[in-house]
């Protein structure tokens, strides 16, 4: 049986976006208390994580330039917990992919994994912090605030998590993850209180992104107000994040999964699947089957979250590097979502099996969508039943007529043809 036809649609939501990032970044630092805290000659650590933050290079360069104008000696430190296989070289390689290198920035980039115990929290658990950060006169962070992929709480992904998990290195990440959701949701702020008391952290640049992956808001949050201000920023981030425009799908095809798109590889906030042991699932969207076709090269073999998909390709599973995959999963202690899905030799075979098992036997009625990844969801290709809904949705624009899915000679989907402006499409053009 022929596969369903698909048509392109685009989400046309009007959302906030910053036009001059360098100017706004500098203005945020200038209006903060940083100038009064930094003395000429001070060593200032700029903590950066491993997430694919839009315009990260601009944010970092502008921050470094401002610190240099104050007469400080800034340097970069990796703040990404156990990512990169939990090794210094692995984390250095991850940063390099975002242009964060000593050669590009003209400052030292430190990725040492040594963490020092700085005290105990109210749970009577040790608090770890990056040894290089402790040697600095001041530490600032650059981090995106957004809903977390593993839990719901007052503090999810953002400054507090980077202070605790990112700068806690592998030891700090493991200390929290071994308690499961409780360690992240409940113990995280308790550890943050110790970090705020006993470290040279002075402020964090909070970054919010809209559904089109544009920088929507920048705000420097001061040391003394971070615990009070971050929950409001999280609410604002949740309101503008990218989502699928449909509450129910029979089949979702994801072109690539990976750590550069979500900490969970596949963002649970987008697909509506948490898959955390003992935790309730999301009410929507409700998706019967998910196919995942590729693992992004930026993930370096870490297919964290591949089990959120039901079906995959042999190619995706073959791309898994057991070292970072095992390291990240065993540190995170969320094992269910990384069980290996059924796999197939070709994309066509994977998608066909997804259709055959999606509980909608009449393929002309199937509600199917194709997205490049769970970060870039502004553009989708959808089957005819969803196309009819899109035509009457004021927030969706139909950009073409239904057509056959494009496959190459090996029966693999031509993702770059469907999504030329995606990360994969841009990667292909550069290559």
End-to-end CA distance of the chain: 36
- Looking at residue 395, what is its pLDDT? 93
Residue 352 domain-assigned? Answer: yes
Looking at the structure, tell me whether residues 230 and 107 fall in a common domain: yes
The total of structural domains in the chain comes to 2
Looking at the structure, tell me whether residues 120 and 250 fall in a common domain: no
Domain that holds residue 192: 32-240
CATH number for the domain that contains residue 206: 3.40.50.11440
Kindly state the average pLDDT of the residues 263-288: 92
Question: Is pLDDT of 150 > 90?
Answer: no
Confidence of residue 68 (pLDDT cuts 50, 70, 90): very high
Q: Name the maximum alpha-carbon separation found in the chain.
A: 71
Q: Measured between alpha carbons, how far is 391 from 136 in angstroms, rounded to an integer?
A: 56
Kindly state the average pLDDT of the residues 210-230: 94
Looking at the structure, tell me whether residues 235 and 362 fall in a common domain: no
The residue out of 185, 212, 240 marking a domain boundary is: 240
The residue out of 179, 208, 240 marking a domain boundary is: 240
**Token couple for 25:** 């970044």
Looking at the structure, tell me whether residues 322 and 228 fall in a common domain: no
Q: Measured between alpha carbons, how far is 386 from 388 in angstroms, rounded to an integer?
A: 5
Q: Measured between alpha carbons, how far is 145 from 41 in angstroms, rounded to an integer?
A: 31
**Token couple for 262:** 């979500």
Mean of per-residue pLDDT scores for the chain: 94
Looking at the structure, tell me whether residues 192 and 324 fall in a common domain: no
**Token couple for 322:** 């057991």
Question: Is pLDDT of 304 > 90?
Answer: yes
Residue 25 domain-assigned? Answer: no
Kindly state the average pLDDT of the residues 260-279: 92
The residue out of 212, 240, 268 marking a domain boundary is: 240
Residue 288 domain-assigned? Answer: yes
86 or 142: whose pLDDT is higher?
Answer: 142
Looking at the structure, tell me whether residues 91 and 157 fall in a common domain: yes
Looking at the structure, tell me whether residues 234 and 256 fall in a common domain: no
Contact between 403 and 7 (Cβ < 8 Å): yes
Residue 1 domain-assigned? Answer: no
Looking at the structure, tell me whether residues 223 and 91 fall in a common domain: yes
Kindly state the average pLDDT of the residues 392-397: 95
The three-point CA angle 371-240-65 to 5° equals 100
pLDDT in tens, 247-267: 999 999 999 999 889 889 999
Residue 173: how many other CB atoms lie within 10 Å: 26
Confidence of residue 165 (pLDDT cuts 50, 70, 90): very high
- Looking at residue 1, what is its pLDDT? 65
Looking at the structure, tell me whether residues 263 and 217 fall in a common domain: no
pLDDT in tens, 85-138: 889 999 999 899 888 999 999 999 999 999 999 999 999 999 999 999 999 999
Looking at the structure, tell me whether residues 254 and 172 fall in a common domain: no
Beta pairing class for 311-313 and 286-295:
parallel
Question: Is pLDDT of 355 > 80?
Answer: yes
Distances (CA, A) of 176 to 189, 280, 328: 11, 20, 13
Three-state SS for the chain is: CCCCCEEEEEECCCCCCCCCHHHHHHHHHHCCCHHHHCCCCCEEEEEECCCCCCCHHHHHHHHHHHHHHCCCEEEEEECCCCCHHHCHHHHHHHHHHCCCCHHHHCCCEECCCCEEEEEECCCCCEEEEEHHHHHCCEEEEEEECECCCCCCCCCCECHHHHHHHHCCHHHHHHHHHCCCHHHHHCHHHHHHHHHHHHCCEEEEEEEEECCCCCEEEEEEEEHHHHHHHHHHHHHHHHHHCCCCCCCEEEEEEEEEECCCCCCCCCCHHHHCCCCCCCCCCCCCCEEEEEEEEEECHHHCCCCCCHHHCCEEEHHHHHCCCHHHHHHHHHHHCCCHHHCCCEEECCHHHHHHHHHHCCCCCCHHHCCEEEECCCCCCCEEEECHHHHHHHHCCCCEEECCCCECCCECCCCCECHHHHCCCCHHHHHHHHC
Residue 85 domain-assigned? Answer: yes
Residue 415 domain-assigned? Answer: yes
Q: Measured between alpha carbons, how far is 254 from 15 in angstroms, rounded to an integer?
A: 24
Radius of gyration of the chain (CA): 22
pLDDT in tens, 175-211: 999 999 999 999 999 999 999 999 999 999 999 999 8
- Looking at residue 107, what is its pLDDT? 97
Residue 219 domain-assigned? Answer: yes
Confidence of residue 344 (pLDDT cuts 50, 70, 90): very high
Q: How many residues are present in the chain?
A: 431
Q: Measured between alpha carbons, how far is 10 from 6 in angstroms, rounded to an integer?
A: 13
Q: Measured between alpha carbons, how far is 346 from 362 in angstroms, rounded to an integer?
A: 23
Question: Is pLDDT of 25 > 90?
Answer: yes
Question: Is pLDDT of 213 > 90?
Answer: no
Residue 119: how many other CB atoms lie within 10 Å: 15
Question: Is pLDDT of 431 > 90?
Answer: no
Looking at the structure, tell me whether residues 184 and 319 fall in a common domain: no
Residue 27 domain-assigned? Answer: no
328 or 42: whose pLDDT is higher?
Answer: 42
């Amino acid at each position: 049986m022929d596969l369903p036809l698909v048509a392109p649609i685009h989400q046309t939501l009007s959302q906030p976006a910053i036009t001059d990032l360098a100017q706004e970044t500098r203005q945020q630092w200038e209006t903060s208390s940083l100038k009064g805290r930094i003395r000429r000659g001070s060593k200032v650590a700029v903590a950066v994580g491993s997430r694919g933050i839009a315009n990260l290079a601009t944010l970092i360069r502008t921050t470094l330039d401002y610190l240099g104008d104050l007469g400080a000696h800034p340097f970069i430190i990796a703040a990404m917990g156990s990512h990169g296989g939990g090794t210094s070289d692995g984390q250095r390689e991850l940063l390099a992919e975002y242009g964060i290198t000593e050669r590009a920035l003209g400052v030292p980039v430190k990725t040492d994994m040594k963490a020092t115990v700085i005290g105990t929290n109210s749970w009577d658990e040790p608090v770890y912090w990056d040894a290089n950060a402790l040697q600095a006169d001041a530490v600032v962070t650059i981090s995106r605030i957004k809903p977390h992929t593993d839990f719901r709480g007052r503090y999810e992904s953002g400054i507090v998590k980077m202070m605790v998990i990112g700068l806690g290195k592998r030891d700090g990440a493991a200390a929290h993850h071994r308690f499961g959701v409780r360690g992240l949701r409940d113990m995280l702020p308790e550890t943050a209180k110790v970090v705020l008391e006993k470290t040279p952290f002075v402020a964090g640049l909070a970054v919010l992104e809209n559904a089109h992956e544009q920088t929507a808001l920048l705000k420097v949050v001061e040391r003394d107000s971070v615990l009070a201000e971050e929950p409001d920023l999280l609410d604002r981030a949740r309101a503008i994040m990218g989502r699928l425009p449909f509450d129910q799908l029979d089949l979702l095809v994801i072109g690539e999964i990976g750590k550069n798109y979500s900490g969970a590889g596949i963002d649970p906030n987008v697909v509506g699947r948490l898959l955390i042991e003992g935790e309730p699932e999301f009410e929507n969207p409700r998706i019967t089957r998910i196919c995942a076709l590729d693992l992004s090269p930026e993930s370096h073999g870490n297919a964290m979250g591949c089990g959120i998909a039901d079906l995959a390709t042999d190619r995706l599973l073959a791309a898994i590097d057991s070292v970072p995959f095992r390291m990240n999963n065993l540190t995170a202690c969320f094992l269910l979502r990384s069980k290996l899905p059924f796999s197939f030799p070709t994309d066509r075979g994977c998608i066909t099996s997804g259709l055959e098992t999606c509980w909608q036997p009449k393929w002309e009625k199937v509600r199917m969508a194709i997205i490049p990844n769970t970060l870039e969801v502004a553009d989708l290709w959808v089957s005819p039943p969803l196309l009819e809904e899109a035509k009457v949705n004021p927030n969706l624009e139909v950009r073409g007529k239904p057509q056959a899915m494009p496959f190459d000679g090996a029966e693999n989907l031509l993702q770059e043809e469907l999504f030329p402006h995606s990360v994969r499409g841009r990667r292909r053009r550069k290559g």
